[in-house]
């Protein structure tokens, strides 16, 4: 009974811990973890363990940097060791005697600052001796690596998956080759030696592992803090949206070019910090320290911990680094002892450290087969819904309020909100849009119908910038938007849903909606990291706006606020996608078969919502195959067939049009 009581008590304690808000858990864990880190060197027992921990911090930094690129943004980088090398050689060249340029007056300010010295040898021109301080070089190498990250990332912007991995692998191989062959700058295969160790207020770190341990601990703490701030910001949500669905991210206002380059730059900067710290500790840098196996090892850390999971990546990096430096060596001694005990020459010759790449390969294979989300995934646990929260009967006529909406009478201004003229799009010999002309006034609800393959979704893709038209023009409020990138069109007030639901599956309902608010927010990287009052206020307003939109859907979505969307029912996924589109604050909302998969009662409820949104001044273009619903809610109906507009007018007029009956209704009846 006592054991049972202890077990139940442990479960209750764990349940209470999980029930605490994330911010409260961090307030408890942060001082505890920092305290453990500060006490460890004094409890370790010997300097060797402290040295191993200090080296492990290098790999924690590398894993955190790669987690930004792979875990947050979903960009598979197999050449990450290149930035490790650039940071290492950047500091190594600046803090050693390898490079000796000629003296000129331009070096005088740095000589005055104590970063360089003038060398005068009789009979030879004066030269410069570099001995840059470690502390400013941390920032300099991070900036240099960020620039190289953008340069390496720019050619890969259109690549995904295997192709991206191959290109980054090539970059990762180029850098060590350059370091091995550029003798004047890097001293070739022999590498750099005599690199100056850090000094702080006159104290030289020298070769003792203890100051490097505390320095590494501080760098890791800063990197974790930055990662958390980025992950929970507008920037982090944009990265994760690109990771989940790049096309849908663009349709929500995320500039994928900007944010991919930003991910490469931030990840490379952290890799540069790791390289600077590493060579400052070792006082040497050789090309063999930055080869492909290093990239693989760091990738193993990220995959093992969990893509996007900061805590998981830190723990996995510590484990893998200590596995390499301590655990495998100790295990090898145990295997040798076992071999001597049983008289096995084979076991006495085993060296596990030589099988490190094999072990990494096995870890990757096993993780991909059995636990792709990692050992400590980023997805948060959510509590089960109560019976009241799960119950949601269809309700019609509920009031809809949006604080930012301004009601617009149907048919409003004389000039159309959207004007399409002569729109054309061809795929080879197939015409998906053939000289389509269409005007939609502010406040209207226009439906586009037609048989499958008639070009309805293509029309939406052309309006929202997912496809470039071959001819014609698309204007919003008189301004040309045809051919603009999708994120710019969203910023101008056009939002959409998709025929096949495209949500960010591993994000919560709230996070999906906050991505929809992306184009209306302003915080950048510095704002996300520093979290100034203006940025905090902006985030609070975004959450309030998301809750306002979720209230429209009542008990359908509000209780599932923190639930990942992959666990929602099909109908609730549809509602979440509509809510996300509303979060962009659109002037024009394009709904592509929003009632697909809903039963008749849910369909009527949704149509009431759509009419209410129109009443708030949002102009709506609707694609829907449920014709009775279309005829009931629409101000006008446009009919497409094989990319050609064959009819347009009031619902009753279109219903009786012979061309519509032949092209759409007639075919449907014959098919039945």
**Geometric angle at alpha carbon 642, from 637 and 648, rounded to 5°:** 20
Helix or strand holding residue 246 (H, E): helix 246-251
Q: Percent of the chain, pLDDT > 90?
A: 42
Q: What is the pLDDT of residue 98?
A: 80
80: phi then psi, degrees, rounded to nearest 5: -65, -25
pLDDT over 70 (residue 10): no
Which of 315, 314, 313, 318 is CA-nearest to residue 302? 313
Fold of 19-95+132-370: ABC transporter involved in vitamin B12 uptake, BtuC (1.10.3470)
Total residue count of the chain as it appears in this document = 672
Residue 590 β-bridge partners: 496, 621
Q: What pLDDT was estimated at residue 433?
A: 86
List of E strands, 396-517: 418-427, 430-440, 445-449, 471-476, 479-480, 494-496
64 close to 224: Cβ distance less than 8 angstroms: yes
Q: Which helix (H) or strand (E) holds 484?
A: none
Report the half-sphere exposure of 338 (CA within 13 A, side-chain side): 9
Instruction: Give the architecture (CATH level 2) of 413-493+599-672.
Output: 3-Layer(aba) Sandwich (3.40)
- What does DSSP say about strands 445-449 and 636-641: parallel, antiparallel, or unpaired? parallel
The pLDDT assigned to 396 comes to 62
CA distance 593 to 465: 19
8 A C-beta contact, residue 241 and residue 258: no
- CA 498/CA 443 separation, integer angstroms: 22
Q: How confident is the model at residue 382 (pLDDT cuts 50, 70, 90)?
A: confident
pLDDT (average), residues 138-155: 93
Taking the C-alpha atoms of residue 295 and residue 273, their distance in angstroms, rounded to an integer, is 16
Mean pLDDT for the chain?
A: 86
**pLDDT higher than threshold 90 for residue 410:** no
Asked which of 43-47, 406-410, 648-652, 659-663 is least confident by mean pLDDT, the reply is 406-410
Distance from C-alpha of 381 to C-alpha of 600, rounded to nearest angstrom = 34
Least confident window among 155-164, 448-457, 579-588: 155-164
Q: What is the pLDDT of residue 664?
A: 57
106 DSSP assignment: G
Domain boundaries, the chain: 19-95+132-370, 100-131, 413-493+599-672, 506-585
Q: Residue 200: beta bridge partners? A: 203
Report the DSSP pairing between strands 284-285 and 418-427.
unpaired
Query: pLDDT tens across 47-62, in order?
Result: 888 999 999 999 999 9
Q: Are 512 and 580 in contact (CB under 8 A)?
A: yes
Compute how many other C-beta atoms are within 10 angstroms of the C-beta atom of residue 634. 23
Task: Judge whether 494 and 588 are in contact, CB under 8 Å.
Answer: yes
Which residues are within 8 A (CB) of 601 and not within 5 positions of it... i.e. 6 or more apart?
394
Q: Is the dihedral of CA 524, 525, 529, 530 positive or negative?
A: negative
Measured CA to CA in angstroms, residue 370 lies from 14, 310, 356 at distances of 26, 21, 21
Structural contact between residues 459 and 644, judged by C-beta atoms closer than 8 angstroms: no
Q: For residues 371 and 365, give the distance between their C-alpha atoms in angstroms, rounded to a whole number.
A: 10
């Amino acid at each position: 009974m006592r054991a049972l009581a202890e077990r139940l008590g442990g479960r209750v304690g764990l349940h209470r811990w999980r029930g605490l808000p994330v911010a409260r858990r961090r307030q408890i864990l942060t001082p505890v973890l920092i305290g453990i880190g500060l006490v460890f060197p004094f409890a370790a027992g010997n300097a060797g363990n402290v040295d191993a921990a200090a080296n492990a911090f290098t790999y924690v930094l590398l894993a955190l940097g790669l987690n930004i690129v792979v875990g947050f943004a979903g960009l598979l980088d197999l050449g990450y060791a290149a930035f490790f090398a650039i940071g290492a050689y950047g500091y190594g060249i600046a803090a050693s005697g390898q490079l000796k340029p000629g003296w000129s007056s331009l070096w005088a300010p740095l000589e005055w600052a104590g970063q360089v010295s003038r060398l005068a040898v009789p009979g030879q021109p004066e030269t410069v001796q570099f001995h840059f301080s470690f502390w400013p070089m941390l920032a300099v190498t991070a900036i240099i690596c960020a620039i190289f990250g953008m340069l390496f990332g720019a050619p890969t912007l259109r690549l995904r998956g295997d192709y991206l991995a191959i290109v980054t692998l090539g970059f990762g191989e180029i850098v060590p080759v350059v370091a091995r062959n550029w003798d004047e700058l890097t001293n070739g295969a022999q590498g750099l030696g005599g690199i100056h160790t850090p000094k702080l207020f006159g104290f030289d770190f020298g070769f003792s592992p203890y100051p490097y341990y505390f320095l590494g601990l501080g760098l890791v703490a800063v990197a974790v803090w930055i990662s958390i701030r980025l992950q929970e910001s507008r920037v982090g949500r944009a990265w994760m949206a690109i990771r989940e669905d790049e096309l849908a991210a663009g349709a929500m206002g995320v500039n994928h070019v900007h944010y991919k380059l930003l991910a490469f730059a931030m990840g490379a900067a952290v890799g540069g910090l790791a390289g600077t710290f590493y060579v400052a500790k070792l006082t040497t840098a050789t090309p063999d320290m930055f080869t492909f196996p290093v990239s693989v090892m760091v990738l193993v850390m990220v995959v093992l911990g969990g893509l996007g999971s900061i805590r998981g990546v830190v723990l996995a990096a510590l484990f893998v680094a200590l596995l390499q430096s301590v655990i495998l060596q100790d295990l090898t001694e145990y295997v040798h002892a076992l071999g001597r005990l049983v008289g096995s020459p084979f076991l006495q010759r085993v060296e596990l450290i030589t099988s490190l790449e094999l072990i990494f390969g096995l870890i990757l294979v096993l993780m991909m087969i059995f636990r792709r989300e990692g050992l400590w995934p980023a997805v948060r646990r959510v509590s089960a819904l109560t019976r009241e929260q799960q119950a949601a009967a269809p309700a019609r006529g509920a009031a809809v309020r949006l604080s930012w909406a301004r009601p617009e009478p149907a048919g409003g201004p004389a000039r159309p909100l959207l004007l399409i003229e002569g729109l054309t799009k061809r795929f080879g010999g197939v015409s998906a849009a053939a000289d389509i002309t269409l005007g939609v006034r502010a406040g209207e609800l226009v439906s586009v119908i037609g048989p499958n393959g008639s070009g309805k979704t293509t029309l939406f893709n052309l309006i929202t910038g997912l496809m470039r038209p071959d001819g014609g023009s698309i204007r919003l409020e008189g301004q040309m938007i045809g051919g603009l990138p999708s994120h710019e069109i969203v910023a101008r007030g056009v939002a959409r849903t998709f025929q096949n639901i495209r949500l960010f599956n591993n994000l919560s309902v709230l996070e999906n909606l906050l991505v929809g608010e992306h184009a209306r927010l302003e915080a950048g990287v510095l704002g996300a990291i520093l979290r100034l009052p203006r940025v905090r206020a902006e985030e609070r307003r975004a959450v309030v706006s998301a809750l306002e939109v979720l209230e429209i859907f009542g008990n359908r979505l509000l209780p599932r606020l923190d639930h990942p969307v992959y666990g929602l029912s099909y109908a609730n996924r549809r509602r979440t996608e509509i809510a996300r589109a509303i979060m962009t604050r659109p002037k024009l909302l394009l709904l592509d078969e929003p009632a697909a998969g809903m039963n008749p009662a849910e369909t009527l409820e949704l149509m009431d919502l759509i009419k209410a949104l129109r009443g708030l001044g949002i102009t709506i273009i609707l694609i829907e195959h449920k014709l009775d619903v279309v005829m009931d809610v629409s101000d006008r109906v446009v009919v497409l067939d094989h990319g050609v507009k064959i009819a347009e007018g009031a619902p009753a007029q279109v219903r009786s049009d012979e061309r519509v009956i032949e092209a759409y209704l007639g075919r449907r009846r014959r098919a039945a």
